Amino acid sequence: MTQRLDYNATAPAGMKALGGAYGYVMQSGLPKELVTLVFLRVSQVNGCAYCIDLHSRDLLKDGLATEKLVLVPAWRESGALFVETERAALAWAESVTRVAQTGVPDADYEAAAAVFEPKALADLTIAIGLMNLYNRMAISFRTPPAAAKQASTAKAHEQG
């Protein structure tokens, strides 16, 4: 995969604005691990290799168990591994991310609102929307994940 455009270099003011939204989410009071799990799940739904790689590495670095990380795509079938707030956040993230298919039904809203206070739910939805935007940037411009860059570098050294 060849990167089409370096949007960080091409539109630094726009990316700085997104960074401001990211900063808001990270200081919103939502737990960092919860936000990063949501970022990962949104990225999985959207198929964003760059963001899946990035957020998986972040979660592992911050001490998330590998067993839990690999079960994020199947969180509904993972029993008590995911606590109530994680389950509610992941369900909300999936519904909001798939808005064109789901329409974000009342039942999904009511389930999330039963677990999160209004401000937390609004902040969580900002986080979901932000990650959807980051996914669209990375996918549209073919931003390669760190794992792919590392593999290319290793292959070049083997051949060199």
Residue 13 lies in a domain: no
Tell me the per-residue pLDDT of 3-44, one tens digit each, with 9 for 90 and over: 999 999 999 999 999 999 999 999 999 999 999 999 999 999
Q: HSE of 28 in the Cβ direction (CA atoms, 13 Å)?
A: 24
Residue 55 lies in a domain: yes
Residue numbers of the domain that contains 131: 32-143
Q: Who's near 82: CB < 8 A, 6+ residues apart?
A: 68, 75, 90
Question: Please, which pLDDT band fits residue 55 given cuts at 50, 70 and 90?
Answer: very high
Residue 7 lies in a domain: no
Q: How far is it, in rounded angstroms, from Cα 96 to Cα 104? A: 6
> Residue 111: pLDDT above 90?
yes
Residue 14 lies in a domain: no
Residue 120 lies in a domain: yes
What is the count of structural domains for the chain? Answer: 1
Give me the pLDDT at residue 149, please. 67
Give me the pLDDT at residue 69, please. 98
Q: Residue 109's domain is classified under what CATH number? A: 1.20.1290.10
Residue 85 lies in a domain: yes
Q: Who's near 33: CB < 8 A, 6+ residues apart?
A: 59, 62, 64
Residue 108 lies in a domain: yes
